[in-house]
A and B are shown apart, each in its own frame.
Chain A
Amino acid sequence: MWTWFHRLASPPTFYRWGGTLQVIFGVAAAVLIVVGTYGGLVLAPADYQQGDAFRIIYVHVPSAWLSLLVYTTMAVAGGVALIWRMKLAELFVVAAAPIGAAFTALALVTGMLWGEPMWGTYWVWDARLTSELVLLFLYLGVIALNGAFEDPRRGARAAAVLALIGVVNVPIIHYSVEWWNSLHQGATVTKFDSPSISMDMLWPLLVNALGFTFYYCAMQCMRMRALVLSRERDARWIREAVA
C-alpha cells in the first residue's frame, strides 16, 4: 500500500497531476474571491460603528487565518519529510514558506491600514498584530535557514526542523503575547471573534477565506512544480515532460 503512495508522491507523477490541480484550484480561488469580495464590498451593510472602513476585514481576516494555516501545513509536511524522508514533503516546506510570509505581511499591512481610520495610528502593539509580526519573523527564519545551505536537500530538511519547533511555539507565542497585552492594558482592538458579527457580514468573510485557501493550494502546486523542475533538472523524465 505504501508503494502506491510513494509512487503517487514521486516528483514526475506530482508534476503531472499538479498541473491539473493548480488549474482547478486557481479557478475555484478566482470564483470564490470575486464572489466574496463583491459580497464584502458591495452587498454587506455598513458597520454601525466603523462605517465602511471595516470592510478591510474581508482581506485582513482571511490573510491572518491563512498565515496560520500555511504554517501548520508547512510544519506537518516538515514532520513527514523528516520521518519518512519524502522528497516531495521537503519541497512542500520550501514552497510554502514564502507564501505564508506573504499572507502574514498582507495581514499586517491590512491591519495597519485598518488601524489608521480606526485608532488614528498605523501601528498598535495589540496582541493580534504583535503575534502576526512574530509569525512573520518565524517565516523569515525558515526562509533564511533554507537559503543558507548549498545543498538544497539539507536546506529543506533544516527548514523542516525549524518549522516543527516553530509550530510548537505558535500557540505559546500567541498566548504569551495576549497575556503581555493584558498585563500592560493595551487596546484589544482586533476583536472579530466577538459573537456579534451578523450573518450578512460574515458570509463574504467565509467565502473569501475559502477562496484564499484555494489560492494557496494553487500557488503551492505552482511553486512545488517549479521546485521539482529545478531540483530534477538533469533527470531524463524532465525533457519528456517539458517537451
Chain B
Amino acid sequence: MLQFDSIVLRRGRKTLLGPLSADLPPGSVTHLQGPNGVGKTTLIHALVGLREPDAGQVRWNGDDIFERPESLRRVLCYVAHDATGNAALTAVEALRFTLAVTGEEADAATDALREFGLTGRSLTQPLRTLSAGQQRRVALARLAVSKAALWVLDEPLNALDAGSRDALCQRFAQHAQAGGTVVVTSHQPLPIDAHCIDLAAA
C-alpha cells in the first residue's frame, strides 16, 4: 500500500503543498485534482521517489521509499506527463527499451502497441512523425504489458481523443479490480469511480 504521511512540498521559500496525508490501498484508483501550477507533478515526483518531500514520509508497505527505494521501484510503473521517448526512435524501439529497462517483457512491445491502436506504418516510423496523441499512446502502451502493482500517471489523458480516454480509464478500473493501485493526475474529471484528492484545497 502506498501512503504519504504529513508530507510538505516547498518551492523555494513558499510551501507548495501540505501537510498532506493519505492512504492509497490496493484496489483503489486515486485522482489527484487541481488546476495547473498547484503542484500535481511535484506531488507525483515525491510519490515515485524522484524528489524527497521537505517534511513527512512517503511509504510503500510501511517502508520509507527514500530509505528503501528498491521496494517501490520493483512494483512501480510511472508514466511522466512529458514522456514521449526519443523522437529519432520508432515506437517499437522506444517501447522495447522502456520495457527492457523496467524489467518487463520487451518482446511484447508490438502487441502492446497494437492494443493501444498503433498499427502498420506508425510502428516503424520515427516518433517525430507521429501525432501528439499517438506519441502519448506509445508512452502509455507499457500498461498493456506491465506486471507492476502500482501505476502512477501524470496527466495521462492529455492529447488523447475521447475514445482512447475511455479505454484508458477502463484499463485503470480493471487494474484496480485485479488488486493493483492507480494514481492519476488530471485537471479533467475521470469517467470512472475514483477517490478524489483536491490539491487546491490542501
Interface residues of A (CB under 8 A from B): 150-151, 233-234
Contact = CB atoms under 8 A, between A and B. Distances in A.
Contacts of B13: 233-234
Main secondary structure of the interface of B (DSSP, over half): loop
A117 B12 CA distance: 52
A233 B14 CA distance: 12
A232 to B, nearest CB: 12
Interface residues of B, number: 2
Contacts of B12: 150-151
Enumerate the 4 nearest inter-chain pairs by beta-carbon distance, A residue then B residue, closest first. Answer: A150-B12, A234-B13, A151-B12, A233-B13
A87 to B, nearest CB: 12
A111 to B, nearest CB: 42
B86 to A, nearest CB: 26
Main secondary structure of the interface of A (DSSP, over half): loop
A151 B12 CA distance: 6
Contacts of A234: 13
A234 B8 CA distance: 14
4 contacts: A150-B12, A151-B12, A233-B13, A234-B13
Interface string B1-37: 0000000000011000000000000000000000000
A233 B13 CA distance: 9
Contacts of A150: 12
Contacts of A233: 13
Interface in B42-87: none
A151 B13 CA distance: 10
A234 B13 CA distance: 8
Interface string B149-193: 000000000000000000000000000000000000000000000
B69 to A, nearest CB: 13
Nearest to A151: B12
Contacts of A151: 12
B98 to A, nearest CB: 27
A150 B12 CA distance: 7
A154 to B, nearest CB: 10
Nearest to A234: B13
Interface string B114-137: 000000000000000000000000
Nearest to A150: B12
B17 to A, nearest CB: 16
A151 B14 CA distance: 12
B134 to A, nearest CB: 35
B15 to A, nearest CB: 9
A129 to B, nearest CB: 42
B56 to A, nearest CB: 15
A150 B13 CA distance: 11
Nearest to A152: B12
A47 B12 CA distance: 57
Q: Which of A150, A151, A233 has the most C-beta atoms of chain B within 10 angstroms of its own C-beta?
A: A151
A234 B12 CA distance: 12
A167 to B, nearest CB: 25
A151 B42 CA distance: 14
A81 to B, nearest CB: 14
